[in-house]
Amino acid sequence: MEQSLLAIFGLGLLYGVQHATDADHLVAVSTIVSEHKSFKWASFIGAFWGLGHTTTLFLVGLVVIGLRVTIPPRLALGLEFLVALMLVLLGSRILWRSFGIEKVHLHTHAHNPETHSHFHVHDSHGQDHSHSHPFRSMRKPFVVGMIHGLAGSAALMLLVLTTIPSVAAGIAYIVVFGIGSVGGMLLLSGLIGLPFILTAQRFSRVNRWIQVAAGVASLLFGLHLGWDIGFNEGLF
């Protein structure tokens, strides 16, 4: 029994690494990585995505495995549709930052003897907004990972319920699976970030169009996924 559990945990670790390579995960993470210009923080994005993903799976696992319940198929489809919406929003945001105006600020200027307030438009091109509070910027990949964890919880819980003999072993499997996904995405997000990092300083125009490509990919993939879930798989 112990050897079979070790084998299952080993497979869980490998599945976790493989799970990080799913297309919707890579597309989502690439949109977040595109905003950073540091290999360290690009890698941390993947790690925080994995932590968010594991957090959701762990919490859902406590309920599903502990109470021996299953997630209804329609709810599972709804959670996957939420991922599609998230991808559309992430892609749209990157495109907005690439072509649109990031912020409008109200500045006060002193022109003796009067003081005037002026609106100043700040273009988003070429700006890096991640340097001042890098750990605060990790909230986004953590939340994105949590949403992905929700969407993937139904399939994982079904696997756990059918192969793991006890609640403790089931929770341990989820943790091992999560470790694999954290490690896998940490490496992948660092690699994904290289084109953005290498072009950020000297090739700003190339960097901008790579960001646009990431935004378009996320937008189109989200629309395709949403259509497939909503109409081909029968959510609507």
Provide the pLDDT for residue 4.
77
Domain boundaries, the chain: 2-232
Cα separation, 190 vs 178, whole angstroms: 18
Give me 203's structure tokens. Answer: 């090739």
| Residue 13 confidence (pLDDT) | 92
CA gap 63, 77 in Å, rounded: 19
Residues of the chain with pLDDT under 70: 1, 100-135
What pLDDT was estimated at residue 137? 80
pLDDT value for 108: 55
**pLDDT value at residue 115:** 54
β-sheet bridge partners, residue 116: 109
Task: Output the pLDDT for position 188.
Answer: 95
Residue 99: predicted pLDDT: 82
What pLDDT shows up at residue 126? Answer: 44
pLDDT value of residue 136: 74
Helix (H), strand (E), coil (C) string for the chain: CHHHHHHHHHHHHHHHHHHCCCHHHHHHHHHHHCCCCCHHHHHHHHHHHHHHHHHHHHHHHHHHHHHCCCCCHHHHHHHHHHHHHHHHHHHHHHHHHHHCEEEEEEEEEEECCEEEEEEEEEECCCCCCCCCCCCHHHHHHHHHHHHHHHHHHHHHHHHHHHHCCCHHHHHHHHHHHHHHHHHHHHHHHHHHHHHHHHHHCCCHHHHHHHHHHHHHHHHHHHHHHHHHHHHHCCCC
